[in-house]
Amino acid sequence: MSKPRVAVVRCRGYERSEVASAVEEALRPLGGLESFVRPGDRVFVKVNHLSPPAPPERAIVTHPAVAEAVLERLLKITSLVSFGDDVQGEGDPFQLSGYREVALRLGVPLVNLKEQGFSEVDCPGKVLNRLYIARAILEADVVVNLPKLKTHSLTTLTGAVKNLYGVIPGGFRSSYHGRFSQLAAFSQALVDIYAAVLPSLHILDAVVGMEGEGPAAGSPREVGLVLASRDAVALDAAAAHIIGLEPLGVGTIQVAHERGVGVGDLGEIELVGEPLEMAQLTPFALPSTAPVRYLGRVPPALARLFTNQLTAYPRVLPHQCVGCGACVSICPAGAAAMQGNKARIDRRRCIRCMCCHEVCRYDAVLLRRSLFGRALHRSLQVARRRLSSS
């Protein structure tokens, strides 16, 4: 069995011609776009477009320049192309991100998945047996996945596998956070969804990524890369290595690799283009909720104590909260509620799914741990950087 191939290509900015050139170069070692799409094929391009809307410079969404480069290339092969995501919010949620402008310029349908509806399908997964998947996905002959390189407060890394979470209805996404509140179970659910869709091609926007409190409240970080692969797991593994993570230490990569849904071991992946040692960065700052990976040799009782101290809980900053109620609407456990015109989170009911943190666009939800926990977390971050550089 041949190794999955991941193309790693340098792209230093979002100027349209440079992005187009990088996308073309990344596709070449995979056989070119023509090896995925034929004339007359119906193609849907799934971007990463979180709710509520955000401008592209915040590095929350797949940059519209990357989407445009892929769409332009697809239109040379087939006219039956559409793109989008499941986006909540009033008005036109695609305006602020720049996606509406791309759609108008190219004349390509921009789809809010919830507006076309979802159909129930069988899902012979590990934790899911039935799924509702967007009709735009099910009716496409080819699905192209355009994730964004970001850290994530629950899964540590969000990439190609995690991006497919957006093909199911928003209500189910919230309920699954409650149903699969433990990272191991949630990773299984994410891989179940990915395996039910299995896009043909994955192109990762890693020109500017997000580090820290991703996927929505972190800091933009220049990476200068575009990655492409037929295997989402292999692509995520390469991306994880680039930002200083052990690939098989990321839940979705480990689960998918163990289940044979993709390849997460770098030793079993063919990397082409930019050498990985040249692409690797100083490790990304991780979310305060990142799983503890340095307690394996600590006695179990002490490990439980440290884990408890390292556990972060969301807390609302009243002076930042505008009372929009987004955190209340999305909370699967009913822990978030409005008191007057400000949100409040009941720690006793909180399941630490971090949905409130993800959805807040006003930086009003802070992830907080004890004083000792903060000191321990800093120590682990230092240890991680030293191990990565050794």
8 Å CB contact between 187 and 154: no
According to the model, what pLDDT value does residue 174 have?
A: 85
The Cβ of residue 44 has, within 10 Å, a number of other Cβ atoms equal to 26
The answer on pLDDT for 205 being more than 50 is yes
The answer on pLDDT for 237 being more than 80 is yes
Query: Percentage of the chain with pLDDT > 70?
Result: 89
* Block residue for tokens 């799934």: 46
Q: How big, in percent rounded to 5, are the helix, strand and coil portions of the chain?
A: 40, 20, 40
Q: Among 228-242, 288-302, 309-323, 355-369, where is mean pLDDT lowest? A: 288-302
Q: Among 78-87, 193-202, 345-354, where is mean pLDDT lowest? A: 345-354
Q: What is the DSSP string of 327-370?
A: HHHH-TTS-EEEETTEEEE-TTT-----HHHHH-SSS-EEEE--
According to the model, what pLDDT value does residue 296 have?
A: 46
The answer on pLDDT for 375 being more than 90 is no
> Which pLDDT band holds residue 332 (cuts at 50, 70, 90)?
confident
Task: Report pTM.
Answer: 0.85
> Which pLDDT band holds residue 309 (cuts at 50, 70, 90)?
low
Structural domains in the chain, sorted by start: 5-279 (3.40.50.11440), 292-312+370-390 (no CATH), 314-368 (3.30.70.20)
Mean pLDDT score of the chain: 90
Element (H, E) at 128: none
> Which pLDDT band holds residue 297 (cuts at 50, 70, 90)?
very low
The answer on pLDDT for 281 being more than 50 is yes
The answer on pLDDT for 151 being more than 60 is yes
More confident residue, 381 or 275: 275
Dig out the tokens for 245 from the structure: 């993570």
Compute the average pLDDT of residues 77-103: 94
